[in-house]
Amino acid sequence: MRQATEQWERAIRVDLTSVFWCLKYQVIAMLKTGGGSIVNTASSLGQVAIANASEYIAAKHGVVGLTRAAAAEYGSQGIRVNAVLPGIIRTPMIARLTEDARFSAFFDRLKERHPIGRFGDPSEIGEAVKWLLSGASSFMNGAAMAVDGGYLAV
């Protein structure tokens, strides 16, 4: 039980509390300079749940809620706050796992859940963040934007 509790605490500290502290100091700085745009990183799992990931799910749902609350609180002061919700992204960690025979079948099934038929590329998340930070998204505030190959659509 102690190990599970420590795992939960670490997940909340890393995946939620760190976002809170960054957001706090970004808002303080932006209030002094007249506003700006903040993009938090949550996960497509910030909208749904799966088994065996309770601490991660809770933290990412928290990031989405924190994003929406901050958007409501600071939007009138020129600060837009949105979140990007990546799906499975081909990072080095995911590449190692998909090549591992113990996990390859799991990732093959997971890929089938993506209507686009593949996992994402880090640059695709970067493009979404770039757009959310730009003036082209000036009417976006409090949004949780899925960049997940359609995972949440099915």
Q: Is residue 91 within 8 Å of 122, Cβ to Cβ?
A: yes
Show the tokens assigned to 154: 């099915």
74 is catalytic: no
Given the residues 25, 56, 74, 151, the one annotated as active site: 56
- Name the β-bridge partners of 38: 81
Give residue 88's identity as a one-letter amino acid code.
I
Show the tokens assigned to 54: 């309770």
Listing from the earlier edge strand, what are the strands of the sheet with 36-41? 36-41, 79-86, 144-147
Of 148, 153, 150, residue with least CA distance to 43: 148
Q: Is residue 89 within 8 Å of 45, Cβ to Cβ?
A: no
Of 16, 23, 18, 146, residue with least CA distance to 83: 146
Catalytic residue numbers read 56
